[in-house]
Structure 1
Amino acid sequence: MVLPRALANFNRHVTNPAANRLAGKVPPFGVVVHKGRKSGRAYRTPVWVFESDGVYRIALTYGRDVDWVKNICAAGAFELETKGRVLSLVDPVVEHDASATWAPVGVRQVLSTVSVVYHLQARTA
């Protein structure tokens, strides 16, 4: 069970604008900066992001079929604001890992509870 679509819509209009102010500065949060595939419009999406050995993994709490994931996979690159820095990431790939072995233990338990089985993985340019 990924999080419900109604929650995604609420977050997009209410929670995300507020979260964008802190997400790029406070770990484990980050902000994915990307452009729409059709509109070319710039978007900012707050996410949970974890780094290990230059590889960044983002929990796909709404599943893999959301617009921002499609946008960055189509583009092949995106920017990530995290820990007060802006990183250029390339080669985004959606991976399935039901046990979320890439996440810290406490986060792994939360992801497992809400059945998050996908994450997006990318590396620095």
Structure 2
Amino acid sequence: MPFSRNLARLERRVINRLAFRMMQLVPAWAVLVHHGRISGREYRSPVAVFIHHGRYRIALSHGRESDWVRNVLMAGRFELEWNGRTVTLVEPILGSDPTFRWAPSSVRLLLRGAGAPDYLEARPA
């Protein structure tokens, strides 16, 4: 089962602020920039991202129902600030792989422990 919604709220209010400061130290972390479905407001979410067969995969540690996931799917595009550059990604789709073969072994352990086999995948524009 993916991490709880209560943990997600705590992350938005406290942990994300710290994560943004530490992102330069962890190569798999990126900032996903998306817009609210109703408000149109810009949001920035820290995510774990990996390249798999030329496409970007983002681990869904909080599951498919996260607000940012729904925003990205509705918009059909988003930006990723990663490794000092901004990449526009399009055609987001949801996938699931209980083997986690697309993620590095250290990340596989965390995702498996969280019971979070889902990911969002998109291609560069």
Question: Which TM-score tier does this pair reach, normalised by the shorter chain?
Answer: over 0.9
TM-score (norm 2): 0.94
> Aligned letter for 1:62?
H
Identity %: 47
Q: Where has structure 1 moved over 4 Å in runs of 4 or more?
A: none
- Counterpart CA distance in 1 for 2:13 and 2:104 is 29
| Unpaired runs of at least 5, structure 2 | none
Q: Aligned partners of 1:43 and 1:95: how far apart in 2?
A: 23
How far apart, CA to CA, are the structure 2 residues paired with 1:21 and 1:73? 27
Deviations 1:94-121 (A, max 9, x none): 1011111110112112111111110000
Q: CA RMSD in A?
A: 1.3
TM-score, normalised relative to structure 1: 0.94
Q: Hey, what's the Cα distance between the residues in 2 that align with 1:16 and 1:7?
A: 11
Which residue does 1:18 correspond to in 2?
18
Task: Specify the code of the residue in structure 2 equivalent to 1:46.
Answer: P
Aligned amino acid, residue 111 of structure 1: L
Q: Distance in 2 between matches of 1:10 and 1:51?
A: 28
The more displaced of 33-42 and 102-111 is: 102-111
**Secondary structure, in 3 states, of the residue corresponding to 1:81?**
strand
Per-residue deviation, 1:124: 0.5
CA-to-partner distance for each residue in 1:31-61, whole Å, 9 max, x for gaps?
1000000000000000000113421100000
Map 1:1-125 onto structure 2 (within 5 A): 1-23=1-23, 26-125=26-125
Q: How many residues align?
A: 125
